[in-house]
Amino acid sequence: MSNDLKLLQPYQLGAYTLKNRIVMAPLTRNRAATGNVPQPMNAEYYKQRVSAGLIITEATQISAQGLGYPNTPGIHSPEQIEGWKLITNTVHENNGHIFQQLWHVGRISHPSLQPNGALPVAPSAIAPEGNALTYSGAQPFVTPRALETQEIPAIVEDYRIAAQNSMAAGFDGIEIHSANGYLLDQFLHDGSNKRADRYGGSIENRARFLMEVVEAAISVWGSKRVGVRLSPSGKFASMHDSDPKALYSYVVKELNRFNLAYLHIVEPRVQGNTDVEDDGTGLSTQYFRSIYSGTIISAGGHNRETGEKTLLYDSADLIAYGRLYIANPDLPQRFALNAPLNPYDRSTFYGGTEKGYIDYPFLEANQSYQAA
């Protein structure tokens, strides 16, 4: 067994001593029960993966308006809070740590998913390309409704209440989802934000909404139990900006002042390459290491080798794994032994039953492998 992997070394994250530097990435799985309430099957899924130093939950909508996909869990009703308690209790009983990712999808929704069939909301009335995923199948995205200036404080308050609900549900902290083309990310990019008020125009104005949400979350949790996720190179959901380097340099420098638990960065990567590489934007964790003073989590297609390399190069402090954790609930043990990995079944990623969710095999106790 390999005991010298930096991936397997403990890490102090605020008040929490993580057993290793491996993070279970936030992974939408579309398996919540009626009312978008977590169910016992979800608790078993997280329990199986408690070997991670830190679990970050699947994206969880802060309000009914924040919903964008079928069967994704919320944290805005008493029933949802009780459902999440089952999960947090199970994780803690097995000596794990778990943060909840808070989410509002903005324009990545559809009237059929919205209260009273309303239009999805966004910084500006610009539809993304592609299709929304609804209970009736894929349907073209609609043009969203631009939020009025006076409506934005109410959404900030939704985040604050969701943060309170996360605490009531027993989480160890929260992550603010400001990545991957969802509402906070939509406000950051000038391709989706054409506003002329205090939330649009300059980079400072476009970042204001995110900073207000961070402040609201910290008012509940304190700074060292709040993280933020960003995707500076992301183009998902028609995201684009005229100067992403200037935008994210400003955002990350501003986040420094909050003394957060961590900054979670989705890496630029070349599809199909074994290494995580720069796609030409320059916006990797290595770049942000020079301007961010706190803990950095690197996510984006890592394997054992690239995760270890990222830590050894001091580009990040923790490594998030998504698809590999879906298929390998005992991922740290497999990394320690340099054991073969279960292949993941992409067809079971989103929605379904126990298949491809809680039926991936663990290593047999009597198996042994030559560590690298």
**Per-residue confidence band for 2, with pLDDT thresholds at 50, 70 and 90:** low
| 17-42 pLDDT, tens digit each | 999 999 999 999 999 999 999 999 99
Nearest to 135 by CA among 233, 215, 76, 69: 69
Domain range annotation of the chain: 7-300+308-319
- Does the pLDDT at position 330 exceed 90? yes
| 86-97 pLDDT, tens digit each | 999 999 999 999
Contact 251, 188 (CB under 8 A): yes
| 244-303 pLDDT, tens digit each | 999 999 999 999 999 999 999 999 964 433 444 455 567 999 999 999 999 999 999 999
What is the residue-averaged pLDDT of the chain? 94
The predicted pLDDT at position 3 comes to 62
Q: What percentage of the chain exceeds 90 in pLDDT?
A: 91
- Does the pLDDT at position 137 exceed 90? yes
User: What are the helix (H) ranges across 261-330?
Assistant: 285-289, 304-312, 323-327
| 186-229 pLDDT, tens digit each | 999 999 999 999 999 999 999 999 999 999 999 999 999 999 99
The predicted pLDDT at position 236 comes to 87
Q: Which of 127-136, 270-279, 292-301, 329-338 is predicted with the least confidence, judged by mean pLDDT? A: 270-279
* Mean pLDDT, residues 151-177: 98
Q: Considering all CA atoms of the chain, what is the largest pairwise distance in Å, rounded to the nearest integer? A: 64
- 343 forms beta bridges with none
Active site residue 262: no
Q: How far apart are CA 186 and CA 123, in angstroms?
A: 7
Q: Which of these is catalytic: 182, 250, 325, 357?
A: 182
Contact 194, 248 (CB under 8 A): no
Q: Angle CA(328)–CA(330)–CA(335) in degrees, nearest 5?
A: 90
| 37-71 pLDDT, tens digit each | 999 999 999 999 999 999 999 999 999 999 999 99
HSE-CB at 38 with a 13 A cutoff on CA atoms is 29
* Mean pLDDT, residues 147-170: 98
Q: Which of 2-6, 125-129, 148-152, 363-367 is predicted with the least confidence, judged by mean pLDDT? A: 363-367
- Sequence-distant (6+) residues with CB within 8 A of 30 are 69, 70, 71, 72, 350, 351, 352
Please state the length of the chain: 372
pTM of the predicted protein model: 0.95
Q: What are phi and psi of 124, to 5 degrees?
A: -140, 160
Helices 208-221 and 152-168: crossing angle in degrees, nearest 10, is 30
- Does the pLDDT at position 321 exceed 90? yes
Helices 244-256 and 208-221: crossing angle in degrees, nearest 10, is 20
**CATH number attached to the domain at 7-300+308-319:** 3.20.20.70
**Could you tell me where the beta strands, DSSP code E, fall in 258-354?**
262-266, 296-299, 318-321
Burial profile 38-70: b = 16 or more Cβ within 10 angstroms, e = fewer: beeebbbbbbbbbbbbbbbbbbbbbbbbbbbbb
The predicted pLDDT at position 365 comes to 53
